[in-house]
Structure 1
Amino acid sequence: MSAAHIIADDAEALAVAAEPAADFRQGATGRDAQRRLPRAELERLSASGLFAAAVRSLDAARGDLTDDSAADASIAVAAAKVMAGEAAVEVGSALFEVSGTRSALGSLGLYRRWRDARTHPLHDPARWEVQHIGRYVLNGTRPPRHGLV
């Protein structure tokens, strides 16, 4: 896997997030009213980071499947899944914090987003994936090849 850029401080994090956030805001009202996903923004954000590393690892394993390439792909996908699950719960929780008490109204259905984000990782526990990632990174122990990591 390629090394990720580490954001040094809050100011850099805000600068990195500013452009995608501005793009995301454009047309948000229309998308929300029509319940459309912000596909262009999602594709742009997924073009880098863990998702891209997972895709590259999967492509490499598909081209030359060995125990090592399967382990690399499994770990890259697990890392992306763990971070996506954590981000989904965090964003869902922040939605309620920012929106105030009215966001909990059943008529809005926002609680479903948080519930779904929280429930999904329970079906495929991230805590196991984190353990496999740690074992692989720290001492080279390959994850099991059973499709769950």
Structure 2
Amino acid sequence: MKVRELRRDDVRPLVEDLWLPFAREMESVAPRNRLAEDVDLVAAGINYREDRLDDPDAATWVAVDDGELVGHAAASVESSAPVFAAGDRLHLGELYVCEPYRGEGVADELLDRVVAAAAERECDRVTLNVDRGNDRAHAFYEKSGFEPRRTRMALSLSNR
């Protein structure tokens, strides 16, 4: 298995085989992750991913086993306001591994690549969000050295 940066010819397989299954799993974790019903999910996903390929502050890595995409991680640089002493951070927005490859170290390799990219970009830290109830993700990130630093709170306006 090899981890490498996403290439343009990977975009459709990424969207179809990894990103949409990831999104569907996240939908079951939290209702706010519900997928849109009025868009072509594949076409919208391809457009989104191609735009990210052109964004110098965004990066996506894929885990490839025997030519098949089996996992991915996507992150973006987030800058701190200039009044703070804190430097930039690389925010990990997505980390997903296909079910048959879970527990095989693929997520560790993807996360290692994200951490290396943060260092290459001279970021101070790597950040991420994990939904409540996603116990497996919480355990993985804590085992990898992440610590809770903040609590993100949300108010749903659709229920008001």
Using the size of structure 2 for normalisation, the TM-score is 0.28
The structure richer in helix per residue is: 1
Using the size of structure 1 for normalisation, the TM-score is 0.29
Structure 1 or 2, whichever has the larger Rg, is 1
The structure richer in strand per residue is: 2
